[in-house]
Structure 1
Amino acid sequence: MPVELDPLLFGEIDPPQRLLMGPGPVNAHPRVLRAMSADLLGQFDPEMTGYMEQVMALYRPIFGTKNRWTMLVDGTARAGIEAALVSLVAPGETVLVVNFGRFGLLLTEILTRIGARIETVEASWGEVVPLAAIEEAIARTSPRLVATIHGDTSTTMAQPLEGFGALCRAAGALSYVDATATIGGMELAADRWDVDVVTGGLQKCLGGPSGSAPITISDTAAEHIFARRHTEAGIRMKGLEDGQGPRISSNYFDLAMIMDYWSEKRLNHHTEATSMLYAARECARVALGEGLAARYDRHTRSGRAMAAGLRAMGLTVFGDDAHRMSNVTGVHIPDSVDGEAVRAMMRDTFEIEIGTAFGPLQGRIWRLGAMGYNAMKHKVLITLGALEASLRAHGFVLPLGEAVPAAIEAWDSAGVGETA
């Protein structure tokens, strides 16, 4: 007897065509979605390993590096973060975390699980940590690793990184940067910044789906990772006698093993996520085809236009203008307005998603993103128009019709006027 299937549970997936204008994920570029529909290949097929080599070459300019070890970690952006920290840090080692938002706190949470000794240098949410404060903290704590976020979407702030790597290098410390929210939308300069490891994700400025984490690793960091593997191998051998196990707590996120997989050795570590590799490859091709300078300018214009439109509504943009990310803008929710009701109207009436906030900013700000495939003038203008209508519907008195013209002027101002 045939089984009757509930169409609500087993019907074809047909998600709404929503415009994702929050802090990420965003709508994927159509070329990326098409690339993901290509046939699968075996993980050691010469065509497949050729695509892997292409991915390595494509991501070097995106990271601003010549690092040989530039590749992918299979998993969301957090997989890249965890792989970096698990592979760089041994239990008991000191790590200095530059913390100015929710994702700095994430670094400390992962490091706590590793068993690291954690020190922090912090800024209030909406600000960044001055380089002088980082220098003082390095001198005070003598860390093995200094870790920071480049752009923290929880606060919409971008940490300046010129000189960061040099401070770490001078103190004999390794450096790590999480660039999940900025890769492909703000300049990354791993070599110029002299940082050891940078990780990213596809789902924001690169305009792809979540599920692959680009990573670049300096020769210095690679030597440390491989040397640590030899040390851990010795511990494992000794563990046969004294019952102690290895100190690297993850097999899947062991970068030494992943690097062997991406090397000419092609040592089996996992089955490569073929469709995600296709997606990552196409994300990079789209970005480089546009030109990185033009792409960064498009994101800057989008953020500048978004901020100008919000201000024209009489709203207050959150945080330090001088250090705001170009692709995510925070804005204070008016006291008289139910922020979640406005978000619901944006979603249900206009099919537009904007973001809520975390921690001390929860219920206080909305976060509006314009990144990747959505960092376009018309998408910014549509979002501002929908927000204006939603605010008005919820009783907020604002100057009608001012937001869109202000945003158009800001887009076309080529850097003149408000900082986005």
Structure 2
Amino acid sequence: MFNELVIPSRTIMTPGPVESNPVALQAMSSRMLGQFDPAFLTIMNNVKEMIKIPFGTKNKQAFAVDGTSRSGLEAALIALIEPGDKVLIPAYGRFAYLLGEICERAKAEIKYLEKDWTGTFDQEDVIEAIKEFQPKVVAMIHGETANGQMQAIDKIGPFCRENDVFFMVDMVATYGGVPIHVDEWCVDIAVAGTQKCISVPSGLALVTYNDRVEAVLDARYQKELGLSKDDRNENHIASNYLDLSQLQRYWSDERINHHTEATNMIYGLHEGLRSIINEGMENVFARHAQNDEAIVAGIKAMGLGFYGDLETKMPTVTPVMIPEGVDGEAIRELLLEQFGVEIASSFGDLKGKVWRIGNMGYSSRHENVLHVLAALEAALIYYDAPINQGAAVKAALNVYKRSN
């Protein structure tokens, strides 16, 4: 006999996944529809239009890929890359190297533009690297969760467009939490996910791309063999499951069958998107900004430091330096076991040196901010860390009271 599933209550303040919006969870428990049921196709059409709004785009193409955010990144890159293509990857944190690994597997010629993880690139440095390397694709991270930094791209994108370079951007950690302007920034293809600022369980990647990319996809399109023996293409995209040229036809009026859609995930996506759109995107961004200000104020009041440049810190992640002599993992364990609060550690050289406090989506709430600050302060006091006691929550409350 197996015991009934019991899920403990948690306040999740990590850079993802975050607490799921109850309206999304409720929608996901709804009855099943067939993937070609007219009622479900209407849902897909609505989702397609809603995806565009947080991206800040009027692109024709915007849809979900069944899989976590990484599936969308891989789908985007292998759609553009053929063996031997040159790809420039500016790296200021962990996830640029993920883009590089995907490109490596696609047999691209890769050049990393690297810097330390304490801040982002001067856009002119990236532009100079583009001039020198002459890539087919520039692939970048907009918001890097490993160090909480957010890269400005409003000059890089237009330069790429003027020079016929494809600009692909990972917006997984910023989509729905900060203003994004895919069209204005000349981003050719952008990728996001469900598990962060739109507060839907992990399982879908969101992509949007423009006519430049669609032309590449159309040139590489190959209909699945079981549907046609005639539509062969020597230059087809390497993956079947992550073939955007096929997926866009599944999400278009053609409705060419590709895979069995994760219908209940699409229900959740619909409600997660609808919730933030109806809240008003400017209000959503203001909520994230205010809660970020309160988190930063509370951390400063405790006397703790921050990793990286606060000028380019993303509003959705705060990297906190672990005080010298404090066991960061012991603090995280105490937070989870005694307070039901989860924060994250970091990666690579930052592991054991930095905590990351997320501020995303449904987790980005006034009460969550006060809870995480109070719990973190109490845990640090328990382990005799040298902090300013009784200051964190008051500093955060001053932020909230000032704006009331």
TM-score interval for Structure 1 and Structure 2 normalised by the shorter chain: over 0.9
User: Once superposed, what is the RMSD of the aligned Cα atoms?
Assistant: 1.9
Is 1:192 paired with 2:184? yes
2:218 alignment partner in structure 1: 226
- Contact 2:220–2:236 (Cα < 8 Å) also in 1: no
Is 1:113 paired with 2:105? yes
2:277 alignment partner in structure 1: 288
**TM-score, scaled relative to structure 2:** 0.95
2:392 alignment partner in structure 1: 403
2:160 to 168, 172, 186: 168
1:91 alignment partner in structure 2: 83
Paired residue type of 1:138? I
Deviations 1:124-180 (A, max 9, x none): 112101110111011011111111011010010011121221111112111111111
Paired residue type of 1:68? K
- Contact 2:196–2:361 (Cα < 8 Å) also in 1: yes
SS of 1:192's equivalent? coil
Paired residue type of 2:284? R
Percent of aligned pairs sharing the same letter: 41
1:45 alignment partner in structure 2: 37
* Cα distance between partner residues in 1 of 2:296 and 2:208: 32
Paired residue type of 1:330? P
Specify every segment of 5 or more residues in structure 2 that has no aligned partner in the other structure, as ranges.
none
Matches within 5 A, 1:293-372: 293-372=282-361
* Cα distance between partner residues in 2 of 1:183 and 1:21: 17
SS of 2:306's equivalent? coil
* Cα distance between partner residues in 1 of 2:247 and 2:122: 35
Q: How far apart are 1:122 and its partner, in Å?
A: 2.4
- Contact 1:90–1:247 (Cα < 8 Å) also in 2: no
* Cα distance between partner residues in 2 of 1:255 and 1:59: 16
Paired residue type of 1:84? A
1:131 alignment partner in structure 2: 123
Is 1:54 paired with 2:46? yes
* Cα distance between partner residues in 1 of 2:246 and 2:11: 39
1:181 alignment partner in structure 2: 173
Paired residue type of 1:269? H
- Contact 1:126–1:156 (Cα < 8 Å) also in 2: no
Is 1:212 paired with 2:204? yes
Deviations 1:4-63 (A, max 9, x none): x1xxxx222211111111111111010010010111111111111111100011111111
Q: How far apart are 1:246 and its partner, in Å?
A: 5.9
SS of 2:17's equivalent? coil
1:146 alignment partner in structure 2: 138
* Cα distance between partner residues in 2 of 1:13 and 1:151: 35
1:418 alignment partner in structure 2: none
Paired residue type of 2:333? A
1:275 alignment partner in structure 2: 264
* Cα distance between partner residues in 1 of 2:140 and 2:378: 38
Deviations 1:83-137 (A, max 9, x none): 1011111111001112111100110011111111101222311210111011101
Paired residue type of 2:68? T
Q: How many residue pairs align between the two structures?
A: 399
- Contact 2:221–2:236 (Cα < 8 Å) also in 1: no
